[in-house]
Amino acid sequence: MPIYNAPAKDIQFVLHDLLKVSEQDIAGYEDLDRDFTSAVIEEAGKIASDVLAPLNQVGDTEGCVLENGVVRTPTGFKAAFDQVREGGWTAMDCDPDYGGQGLPYIMSMAALEPSVSANMAFNMYQGLTHGAYSAIHVHGSDEQKQKYLPKMVTCEWTGTMNLTEPHCGTDLGLMRTKAVPNGDGTYKISGQKIFISAGDHDMADNIIHLVLAKIPGGPDGIKGVSLFIVPKIKINEDGSLGDRNGVSVGKIEEKMGIHGNSTCVMNYDEAEGVLLGEEHKGMRAMFVMMNEARLGVGLQGYAQAEAAYQNAVFYANDRLQGRAVTGAENPDGPADPLIVHPDIRRILMDQKSFVEGARAFTMWGANLIDRSHKNGDAEADGLVSLMTPVIKGFLTDKGFEYAVAAQQVYGGHGYIEEWGMSQFARDARIAMIYEGANGVQALDLVGRKLAQDGGKHVMAFFEMIKTFIKENDGNEALKADFLEPLKAASKDLQAAGMYFMQNGMKNPNNALSGSYDFMHMMGHVCLGLMWARMGKAAMKALDAGASDKAFYETKIATGRYYMARQLPATAMHLARINTGADTVMALDADQF
C-alpha cells in the first residue's frame, strides 16, 4: 500500500516563513500562530494517514455501485466520513452563524491538502458540499441559509454542482434543462445532467443539488440560465425530511480514475426546486462555486503529485538496482539504491521543487482571497482572479505530469495497480478536465483576465516581481541563483504579453494560439517568484540561527533546482507564442 505522511513542516514554512500569516492585518489571522496552525495540520495529517489513505485503493478497486436506484460507496467510506464530520473538518472556514468555525480560508486550505493527497475521490464529497455551501451563503435568502447551511456545514447534507448536459459542457448557453414556475415561488426542474460528482451516495441524509436550468421565456443562451436549489429529499416546514423529490440517478459513469467518487448521470423529472439568487443570473451565482472550486482543483493537482512523490522517494531509496556511476554507494549490498542515479534524482527534484512551489502559490492565492473577502481589498481580488486560471490549469497539468513521473521511478511496478502509482496518475488526470478544461482556463487567462480592469492586475503582478528584485538587489546570496532567473523569466512573460497586445488586435487568434503556452509560462513565473521568496525566507531563518538547519538548506537547494531547471521553459513558451496563429490555423478542417 502506498505511504503518506503530511508534509507538516513544509506547510508551516509557507504559512509562517513565507506568508507570515499571523502578522497580516486580516481578521482571524491574528490567531494563526505557529502552535495553532501546527496543531491543526498535525491533526489533519493524522486523519489523512490513518483513516483516508488506507481507503484510497479500496475506493479505486470497489468503486461506487448503483443498486436499485441507490448508490453504495466503497467499504469504509461511510465510517470515515462520520469521523471527518465529527472532527469538525467540514466546518473550518464556514460561517459561525450556521455552525462553522469561522477560520480564515487559508487555514482550511492548509488543512485540506493532506486529505486530498491521501484520498482525492473521498475528499470530493466534502469539497462539492463546500462549494454549494458557498453559493448559498453568498446568494441565498436568509430563509434559504437557515434552512440549508447548518446541515451542509456539518455535511449531514452534502451538495453538488449540476452544470454539464450530454451536449454541452463549456458552452452552457446550449443547455436544455428547464425550470417551469409553479406560481408559488417553486419551480419544476426537468432535464438531464451528467458528470455530477458525488451526485448520489449513502453517506448523508440528504443531498442538496444546485442545478442550472432555463426558465421558459427567458433570454436565449447563457443569459437565460438560472440557478436552483433542488434537494434530493424535500424538506418540511419544520426542517424534517419529507418526500423524495423527482431526482434520480441514471447511471454511474465508468471513469479512468476517482472511482471512489460517484460520478452520476442525474435525471430531473419535474423535481421541485427554488431559485438561488436572481432569475437569469445563474452563472453569476455558480461562479462563486467555480472560483473556489478552481483553487481547490489546483490543490488537487499538487496534492496528488505530493503523494506520488513521497512514494517515489520511498521506492528510490528502497529498490536496489545498478551502481552509481561515480562508485558504489552501497558496496556491501548487491546494488545501490535507485536514488544514486542522476536521472532518478532529476525526476524527484522536478517533483519536489514543483510541489513546494505549487503549495506556496496556492496558499498565496488563498491568502489573497481572505484579503479580498475580509478586507474588501480590490487589488487582492483582481490579483487572485488573474491567478485562478493559472493555479487551476498549470498546477493540474504539472501535477498529473509528476504523478506519471512517479510511476516511472517504479519501472514496471508503476504500471501494476497493486502498487498504487497508477491510481495517482489516473486520479490526477481528471483535475486537468473538470471545473473548466485547462484550455478553457488558458482562454480565460488570455482572453479575459489579462485585459481585466485595463490590464491593471497583470501590471501589478509584474510590478511586484520588479519590486522584489530591486529590494533584494544587494543580496548576493539570492542574486545569481534566484533573482536573475526570475528576471529573465519575467521578461519572457512580459514579451509574450506585448506580443499579444501588438498582434491580438489584428487577429485575436494570434493571442489565442499562444494562450496555453502563456498559462504555463505564467505558472513558471509564479512558482519562480514563490521560490525566490522562499529562498530568501530560508536564508533569513538560517541567518537567525534556526535550529533545523538541514530543513532550510534543503529548501534553498530545492529552489535553486527550480530556478535552474524549470524556469528556462519560459523561453520555449515565448518562442512558440511569437509564431502567432499562422502555423496553428493553417489547415482547413478537412485537412486534418
Q: Which are the catalytic amino acids?
A: 435
For residue 138, the SS3 value is helix
| Binding residues among 423-442 for a copy of itself as defined by CB under 8 A | 425-426, 429-430, 432-434, 437-439, 442
Residue 120 sits in the site that holds a copy of itself (CB under 8 A): no
Q: For helices 515-543 and 569-577, what crossing angle results, to 10°?
A: 160
Shortest reach from residue 492's CB to a copy of itself, in Å: 11
Q: How far is the CB of 559 from a copy of itself (least distance, A)?
A: 9
- Segment 246 to 265, residues that bind a copy of itself, using CB under 8 A: 253-257
Amino acid 312 reads A
Q: In the complex with a copy of itself, which residue's Cβ is closer, 371 or 520?
A: 520
CA–CA–CA angle 37, 38, 40 (5° rounding): 65
Cβ atoms within 10 Å of 17's Cβ, excluding its own: 19
The correct pick among 422, 472, 490, 503 for binding a copy of itself (CB under 8 A) is 422
Which candidate, 365, 372, 370, 511, places its Cα nearest to that of 444?
A: 511
Closest-CA residue to 264 (of 161, 194, 162, 166): 194
Tell me if 104 sits within 8 A of 93, measured CB to CB.
Answer: yes
Q: Would you state the torsion angle of the CA atoms of residues 44, 48, 49, 53, taken in this order, to the nearest 10 degrees?
A: -170
Q: How far is the CB of 571 from a copy of itself (least distance, A)?
A: 6
CB closer to a copy of itself out of 230 and 442? 442
Closest-CA residue to 67 (of 188, 193, 200): 200
CA dihedral sign, ordered 395, 252, 172, 187 = negative
Cα 5 from Cα 130, distance rounded (Å): 25
User: Between 451 and 459, whose beta carbon lies closer to a copy of itself?
Assistant: 451
Residue 176-215 contact track with a copy of itself, rule CB under 8 A, x = bound: ------------------xx--------------------
The SS3 call for residue 191 is strand
CA distance 36 to 111: 12
460 belongs to the binding site for a copy of itself (CB under 8 A): no
Q: With respect to a copy of itself, which residue has the nearer C-beta, 429 or 536?
A: 429
88 binds a copy of itself, rule: CB under 8 A = no
Asked whether the beta carbons of 145 and 99 are under 8 A apart, the reply is: no
| Residue from the set 210, 313, 469, 522 that interacts with a copy of itself by CB under 8 A | 313
> By CB under 8 A, which span of 14-22, 153-161, 211-219, 312-320 interacts with a copy of itself?
312-320
Interface with a copy of itself, residue 321, by CB under 8 A: yes
The rounded distance, in Å, linking the Cα atoms of 82 and 339 is: 40
Report d(CA 407, CA 414) in Å as an integer. Answer: 4
For a copy of itself, which stretch binds (CB under 8 A), given 21-29, 73-81, 317-325, 455-463?
317-325
The set of cell numbers assigned to 548 is 533545523
Return the number of the residue (150 or 559) whose C-beta is nearest a copy of itself: 559
Q: How far is the CB of 167 from a copy of itself (least distance, A)?
A: 8
**Residue (402 or 561) nearer to a copy of itself, CB:** 561
* Helix (H/G/I), strand (E/B), else coil: 487: helix
Q: Indicate the residue among 164 and 245 with the shorter CB distance to a copy of itself.
A: 164
**Residue among 451, 577, 456, 455 at smallest CA distance from 519:** 577
Instruction: Confirm or reject binding of residue 335 to a copy of itself (CB under 8 A).
Output: yes
DSSP string computed for 20-70: -GGGS-STTGGG--HHHHHHHHHHHHHHIIIIIGGGHHHHHHH--EEETTE
Which CB sits closer to a copy of itself, 79 or 256? 256
Q: Which of residues 401-420 bind a copy of itself (CB under 8 A)?
A: 404, 407-408, 411-412, 414-418
Residues contacting a copy of itself: total by CB under 8 A: 95
Return the residues of window 370-399 that contact a copy of itself according to CB under 8 A. none
Report if residue 501 touches a copy of itself, rule: CB under 8 A.
no
Nearer to a copy of itself among residue 157 and residue 195 (C-beta): 195
Does 331 bind a copy of itself (CB under 8 A)? Our answer is no
Pick the binder of a copy of itself from 75, 146, 170, 502 (CB under 8 A). 170
**Of the candidates 68, 240, 547, 591, which one interacts with a copy of itself according to CB under 8 A?**
591
Query: Does 71 contact a copy of itself by CB under 8 A?
Result: no
* Using rule CB under 8 A, residue 346 touches a copy of itself: yes
Kindly tell me which of 188 and 323 has the beta carbon lying closer to a copy of itself. 323
Contact 165, 244 (CB under 8 A): no
* Ranges within 468-497 binding a copy of itself (CB under 8 A): none
**CB of 171 vs a copy of itself, minimal distance in Å:** 4
Contact between 343 and a copy of itself by CB under 8 A: the answer reads yes
**Shortest Cβ 84–a copy of itself spacing (Å):** 25
Q: Which of 443, 458, 486, 534 is close enough to bind a copy of itself by CB under 8 A?
A: 443
**How far apart, in whole angstroms, are the C-alpha atoms of residue 264 and residue 201?**
10
Closest CA to 12 of 394, 523, 552, 464: 552
**Closest separation in Å from C-beta 563 to a copy of itself:** 8
533-572 residues in contact with a copy of itself (CB under 8 A) are 550, 553-554, 557-558, 560-561, 564-565, 568-569, 571-572
Q: State yes or no: residue 27 binds a copy of itself (CB under 8 A).
A: no
Q: Angle at which helices 34-47 and 105-118 pack, to 10 degrees? A: 30
Question: Cα 17 vs. chain centroid, distance in angstroms?
Answer: 23
We find the least distance from the C-beta atom of residue 422 to a copy of itself, in angstroms, to be: 4
Contact status, residue 8 vs residue 43, Cβ threshold 8 Å: no
Residue 337 is a binding residue for a copy of itself (CB under 8 A): yes
Q: Tell me how far the alpha carbon of residue 469 is from its chain's centroid.
A: 29
Distances (CA, A) of 386 to 204, 368, 380, 396, 446: 36, 11, 10, 17, 10
